[in-house]
Amino acid sequence: MLKIKRLTFNAFAENTYFVWDDSGQGVIIDPGCQKQEEVAALRRVIEQSGARPVKILLTHGHFDHIFGVEELAKAYGIKIYLNPADKPLLQNWNRELTDYYHLASAPEGFDFESIADGDKVSFGDTVFEVIGTPGHTPGGVCYYSKEQKVLFTGDTLFAGTIGRTDTDYGDYDKLIVGIMEKLMWLDSDTAVYPGHGPSSSIAAERTTNPFLQPFNEKEGDIDNA
């Protein structure tokens, strides 16, 4: 059985997840912990879970999702997984962070294992399928378990809205096509865990998300076969 703990970090209210199963292994998804007290909070959750993190999974390379990545990778001796299409983002954020947001710099240029659409990422008894959903960033991905009926969407899909595409490297057409063609046909009872805001479900987003009209259909009209 999959267990999920969400923590909300940094000035952008980013959702960081620690996910583990009965094997005692887990993964950290999008460690946005910027301050040392945030890092400590995540480490306490991991310790209390009794599980051992074995990987860090990134949905994309925006700074608010990677603040804690290097420190945690070093602390636990684990690898980072990222779509390499987002590598340019890691090299361009720090001037904006310091000059515009007046925040401390984010990690850049760190080593990572490359992932792409269709790959499988496993830990313990759990396997996540990597679903490529570019648009918010060129290398945006979601992590999906059909067996556990969970989907971690990063900044691709939120409860009632979708990721913004008006930033550098954004592409609305790619984002909306990815959501429509790859996510909306997942099982209705799949839980959606986004990079910001509350969780949702595929059913709720199909039927109520105003940014997905005219796709919105009554649940009875959707065939998951």
- Residue 206 φ then ψ, to 5°: -60, -40
Residue 103 has a pLDDT of 63
Alpha-carbon torsion 160, 5, 94, 90, what sign? negative
Distances (CA, A) of 5 to 18, 101, 136: 5, 28, 24
Angle between helices 69-76 and 36-49 (to 10 degrees): 40
**For residues 106 and 114, what is the distance between their CA atoms, to the nearest angstrom?**
20
DSSP 106: P
Among 116, 178, 120, residue whose Cα is nearest residue 144: 120
- Number of domains present in the structure of the chain: 1
- pLDDT attached to residue 225: 43
Torsion angle, alpha carbons of 95, 100, 105, 111, to 10: -60
Instruction: Decide if 162 contacts 197 (C-beta within 8 A).
Output: no
Q: Are 140 and 86 in contact (CB under 8 A)?
A: yes
Report the pLDDT value the prediction gives residue 5, as an integer from 0 to 100: 98
**Whether the Cβ atoms of residue 72 and residue 31 lie closer than 8 Å to each other:** yes
CA dist 60 and 48 (Å) reads: 27
CATH number at residue 26: 3.60.15.10
What are the backbone angles phi and psi of residue 49, rounded to the nearest 5°? -70, -25
Residues 171-189: b if buried by 16+ CB within 10 A, e if exposed: beebbbebbeebbbebebe
Low-confidence ranges of the chain (pLDDT < 50): 224-225
Domain holding 20, by residue range, is 3-221
